[in-house]
Amino acid sequence: MSNYLKDRENQILTKGTDSAEISCEKKSLAGSVSQRACVFCGSRVVLYPIADALHVIHGPVGCASYTWDIRGSLSSGPQLHRLSFTTDLKERDVVFGGEKKLYHALIDLIDKHQPKAAFVFSTCIIGVIGDDVEAVCRQVTKEKGIDVIPVMSEGFNGTKKDGYKIACGALSKLVGTNNDYEAPKYSINILGDFNLAGELWILAEYYKKLGVEIISCMTGDGRVEQIRRAHKASLNVVQCSGSIMHLAKEMKEKYDIPFMKVSYFGIEDMSEALYEVAKFFKDDEMLAKARELVTNEISKLLPALQPYRQKLEGKKAAIYVGGAFKAISLVKALRLLGMKTVVVGSQTGNAEDYKLLKDLCDEGTIIVDDSNPNELSEFVKLTGANLFIGGVKERPIAHKLGLGFCDHNHERKEALAGYVGMMNFAKEVYASVTSPVWKFVK
């Protein structure tokens, strides 16, 4: 493997050949064509789905432009989160500071839109030019009587993961601020679902059938009021643990709310999530309902998947996604379709995730942390993959190589969660892998 950046050797391993642990949670090397983003990106994607809050980006225009409504987090009500607000700092502001601009922007926007809370994102240069964003936020909170929460997400200050942590910090300022609410007997918060393609709504249906009330979702289809009373829930059910685990842990400490890690992707993980929640409440009736739901869904789903499985049996897949926990579910779901995972990697996985992946994958699978296009393209060639699962920057590479593609990131157009999501996934993979277009590649 001569073609890789030398210092990255420990971030790549082949199951069965390499015995060492994968090295991860490292900063990217300067000069690498990394697929990773920054702290701001991490904070922005976690908080953005809160639809009735104001999200103001304090900095030069770019950070606001690039994150303007790109993520497909759906809201059943307000759409304020889909607008792009920025202080659009200029050279003058860099010299004299942007606090006044921020203050006026906030006052204007709060007057106009009457949001339930406001998040102010600091981008790279804010600390450097000496703006005291926290002080401005305190001032506006005082004047306007709504929570104006600083999100100190300067891009260089760590990785995207650190951005998640900062976003969790911002959320935790809202959690617990409404004590007047009486929670129903069986209530949960859903953490780490962002309602891409309406996935939360699918989950909500399932939980309703079990008799479980969702107090808040952080943050898909999110509302400030719901987050305020999230501490009244009996349980936090955490998906996409990378992004929101900090909050789950904090709520455990502060409010003694236990959490469980789940995945809603694929039959096994989805079913297990429902069973685990039912078991948590120690209610036999609920468990019976969960069994009924799962049996019902699976008995419909398995035969429906069969024709797709027949065509996909033995095909090989490469996975490169943001979080490694997601990759684990994907490996299992692909297996259900008869497909073998030959490459699997993530931008932000931790040692525990990678160990799970290593245990789960077959011999010969290449496991990689913080990869880049050259490596990925090499791995794909080496393993003869037929399908690539990734995000926006991976799609055209896969297509150029003549591989089918499935977007498992925020540009997914079909819900992939739940049983219906598994069906959608099968259809999408099938449509792409078996498309006649590949036969024209010479």
Partner 1 sequence: MLLRHTTKEVKERKALTVNPAKTCQPVGAMYAALGVHGCLPHSHGSQGCCSYHRSALTRHYKEPVMAATSSFTEGSSVFGGQANLLQAIDNIFGIYEPQIIAVHSTCLSETIGDDLGQIVGKAKDDGRIPEGKHVVQASTPSYVGSHVTGYANMLEAFVKYFAFKTDEKLRQVNLLSGWVEPSDMRELKRLAGLMDVKTVLLPDTSDVVDTPMTGKYQMYPKGGTTIDEMVSMGNSMGTVALGEWGAKSAAIALDNKCKVPFSMNDVPVGISATDRFIQALSTAGKVSIPEIISEERGRLMDMMTDMHQYFYGKRVALFGDPDTLLPLTEFLLDLDMKPVYIVSGTPGKRFTQRMEEILGDKVSETKFKNGPNADMFLLHQWIKEEPVDLLIGNTYGKYIARDENIPFVRMGFPIIDRVGHSYFPTVGYQGGLRILEKILGAIMDKIDATAPEESFELVM
CA nearest neighbour of 81 among 127, 136, 121: 121
Say whether residue 20 binds partner 1 (CB under 8 A): no
- Kindly tell me which residue out of 21, 156, 205, 285 binds partner 1, with binding defined by CB under 8 A: 156
Say whether residue 135 binds partner 1 (CB under 8 A): no
Letter for the amino acid at 342?
V
Q: Which residues on adjacent β-strands are paired with residue 151?
A: 121
Do the strands 387-390 and 316-321 form a parallel or antiparallel pair, or are they unpaired?
parallel
- Kindly tell me which residue out of 395, 420, 427, 434 binds partner 1, with binding defined by CB under 8 A: 395
In the complex, what is the shortest distance from the CB of residue 294 to partner 1, in angstroms, rounded to a whole number? 37
Do the strands 117-122 and 147-151 form a parallel or antiparallel pair, or are they unpaired?
parallel
- Kindly tell me which residue out of 55, 71, 101, 326 binds partner 1, with binding defined by CB under 8 A: 101
How many residues of this chain interact with partner 1, rule: CB under 8 A? 80
In the complex, what is the shortest distance from the CB of residue 322 to partner 1, in angstroms, rounded to a whole number? 11
Record the tokens describing residue 3, joined without a space.
């073609």
* Closer CB to partner 1, 282 or 439, in the complex: 439
Say whether residue 413 binds partner 1 (CB under 8 A): no
In the complex, what is the shortest distance from the CB of residue 220 to partner 1, in angstroms, rounded to a whole number? 18
Alpha-carbon separation of residue 73 from 12, 51, 122 (angstroms): 33, 9, 22
Compute the residue count for the chain. Answer: 442
- Kindly tell me which residue out of 18, 94, 201, 250 binds partner 1, with binding defined by CB under 8 A: 94
Q: Interface residues for partner 1 in 200-229 (CB under 8 A)?
A: none
* Closer CB to partner 1, 82 or 209, in the complex: 82
Say whether residue 39 binds partner 1 (CB under 8 A): yes
Say whether residue 91 binds partner 1 (CB under 8 A): yes
117 phi/psi in degrees, rounded to 5: -165, 170
Q: Interface residues for partner 1 in 157-186 (CB under 8 A)?
A: 157-160
Say whether residue 346 binds partner 1 (CB under 8 A): no
Do the strands 366-369 and 12-14 form a parallel or antiparallel pair, or are they unpaired?
antiparallel
* Closer CB to partner 1, 58 or 231, in the complex: 58
Identify how many contiguous H helices and E strands the chain contains and give both numbers: 17, 14
Annotate 349-371 with DSSP letters as a single string: --HHHHHHHHHHSPTT-EEEES-
Residues contacting residue 201 through CB under 8 Å, at least 6 positions apart: 74, 76, 195, 221
